[in-house]
């Protein structure tokens, strides 16, 4: 079989980058946009209507300039252009894997870079977006955790990743409005890229509210999954203020092992995490919490681990997602064997849980889970530092 070549190119779609001088409308909530328009001189009584019109241009039609907003007067369009901009981050490179996965390297203000991955499947297309540059947490199996430099992304930079992907997929505006959401190329969002979304709560929330807004990108809250390493105090807020699906990076069945793999466990241990999940108001049989479990050879993959896992999560509407470890240069672990993963999955399945094994996608372009890290980032941790933090 001949394999399609990996392509890497610089995107040619014309785009406007944030200039810094003007207020970027991308990322503002509806209320925020209304307030900004009024502060710039719009009569208050027109606030709601104008916001609705501009919102639709930006998030339904995908336009980036005011001059095409034909339901606004020419004079008002010119005024808007003086104070505001409609700007999304810059795509530096796009790589397309032989399996169709696309990885974008995206540059945000300050020159930092984050990665965004689009994964096409038969009945859906999932965009994996980032919430931070790097991550302050240091999970020992995660490539992102080795990256030192961190800043939170703004709401505009988070929803901007979705807009960039739609630009590239050519999904403005007709397809986007298809009543059949399965027909969309971009039908699901997962917050599983770089960063811990619950350490950037407000921006993640505002961006996801924009993605869910029915007069725009219009994705159902059930098509958005937020993955957290276990920031316990923010879990209830996620249900209340975002209402999306929740995934948890569980990865171990004893505090000893979890302390090493997911160091936030030292702050909120397995018991505290499970208590918060039991109380997750949105969890039900139709909206299960996903337990992510990375399979690390000889570390967390024994039969005993599998039995302990199903015992621990008893009573929580859950599905278990087994992730074969994706290796990266210098990683202190190896992937469990296929036989081991199968044996583990069988125990979980026989206990009544669906236990899909996540098929790594885009491996040839290092786009798989936990491999994301901007290669251009200079500040890196050494192997020694990684090993020391993992307590190895």
196 makes contact with ligand SF4 (CB under 6 A) = yes
Determine the Cα–Cα distance for residues 215 and 209; give it in Å rounded to an integer.
11
Please confirm, yes or no, whether 375 is among the known catalytic residues. no
Quick check: 265 binds ligand SF4 (CB under 6 A)?
no
Q: With H, G, I as helix, E, B as strand and everything else as coil, classify residue 165.
A: helix
Q: How many angstroms separate the CA atoms of 11 and 106, rounded?
A: 11
Q: Which residues contact 340 (CB under 8 A, 6 or more apart)?
A: 295, 297, 301
- Choose among 18, 47, 74, 98: nearest CA to 361: 98
Q: Smaller CB distance to ligand SAH: residue 143 or 223?
A: 143
CA–CA dist 101, 144 (Å, integer)? 19
What is the total count of residues that contact ligand SF4 (CB under 6 A)?
11
CB closer to ligand SF4 out of 195 and 216: 195
Question: 168 or 292, CB closer to ligand SAH?
Answer: 292
Q: Which of 95, 138, 187, 229 binds ligand SAH (CB under 6 A)?
A: 229
Among 128, 142, 244, 369, the one annotated catalytic: 369
Judged by CB under 6 A, which of 96, 105, 192, 283 binds ligand SAH? 192
363 is catalytic: no
Structure tokens at 58: 């930006």
If we measure between CA atoms, which residue out of 315, 97, 341, 319 comes closest to residue 225?
Answer: 319
201-212 helix and 155-169 helix, angle to the nearest 10 degrees: 40
Does residue 142 bind ligand SF4 (CB under 6 A)? yes
Non-local (6+) Cβ contacts of 35 within 8 A are: 47
Q: Residue 65 in contact with residue 88, Cβ under 8 Å?
A: no
Residue 249 interacts with ligand SF4 (CB under 6 A): yes or no: yes
Could you tell me the smallest distance in angstroms from the CB atom of residue 132 to ligand SAH? 8
Out of 55, 118, 141, 280, which residue is the one contacting ligand SAH (CB under 6 A)?
Answer: 141
188 interface partner picked from ligand SF4, ligand SAH, none, CB below 5 to 8 A per type = none
Catalytic residue positions, numbered: 115, 369
**Which residues contact ligand SF4 (rule: CB under 6 A)?**
135, 137-139, 142, 144-145, 195-196, 229, 249
**Which residues contact ligand SAH (rule: CB under 6 A)?**
139, 141-143, 192, 196, 227-229, 249, 292, 294, 323, 325-326, 369-371
């Amino acid at each position: 079989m001949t394999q399609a070549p990996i392509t890497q190119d610089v995107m040619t779609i014309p785009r406007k980058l944030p200039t810094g001088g003007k207020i970027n409308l991308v990322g503002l909530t509806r209320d925020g946009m209304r307030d900004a328009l009024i502060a710039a001189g719009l009569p208050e009584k027109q606030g709601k209507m104008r916001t609705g019109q501009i919102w639709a241009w930006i998030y339904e039609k995908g336009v980036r300039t005011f001059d095409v907003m034909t339901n606004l007067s020419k004079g008002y369009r010119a005024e808007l252009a003086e104070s505001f901009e409609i700007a999304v981050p810059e795509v530096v490179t796009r790589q397309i894997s032989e399996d169709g996965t696309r990885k974008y390297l995206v540059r945000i203000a300050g020159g930092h870079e984050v990665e965004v991955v689009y994964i096409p499947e038969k009945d859906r297309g999932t965009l994996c977006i980032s919430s931070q540059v790097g991550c302050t947490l240091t999970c020992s199996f995660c490539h992102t955790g080795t990256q030192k430099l961190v800043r939170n992304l703004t709401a505009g930079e988070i929803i901007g990743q979705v807009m960039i992907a739609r630009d590239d997929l050519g999904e403005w505006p007709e397809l986007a409005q298809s009543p059949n959401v399965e027909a969309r190329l971009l039908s699901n969002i997962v917050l599983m890229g770089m960063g811990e979304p619950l350490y950037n709560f407000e921006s993640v929330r505002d961006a996801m509210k924009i993605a869910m807004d029915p007069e725009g990108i219009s994705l159902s809250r059930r098509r958005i999954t937020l993955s957290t390493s276990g920031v316990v105090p923010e879990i209830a807020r996620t249900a209340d203020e975002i209402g999306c699906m929740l995934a948890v990076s569980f990865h171990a069945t004893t505090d000893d092992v979890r302390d090493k793999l997911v160091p936030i466990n030292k702050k909120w241990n397995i018991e505290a995490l499970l208590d918060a999940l039991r109380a997750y108001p949105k969890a039900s049989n139709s909206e299960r919490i996903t337990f992510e479990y990375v399979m690390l050879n000889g570390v967390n993959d024994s039969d005993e681990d599998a039995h302990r896992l199903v015992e621990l999560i008893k009573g929580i509407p859950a599905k278990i997602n087994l992730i074969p470890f994706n290796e990266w240069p210098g990683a202190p672990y190896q992937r469990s064997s296929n036989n081991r993963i199968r044996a583990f999955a069988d125990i979980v399945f026989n206990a009544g849980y669906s236990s899909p094994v996540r098929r790594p996608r885009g491996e040839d372009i290092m786009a798989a889970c936990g491999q994301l890290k901007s290669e251009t980032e200079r500040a890196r941790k050494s192997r020694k530092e990684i090993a020391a933090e993992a307590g190895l």
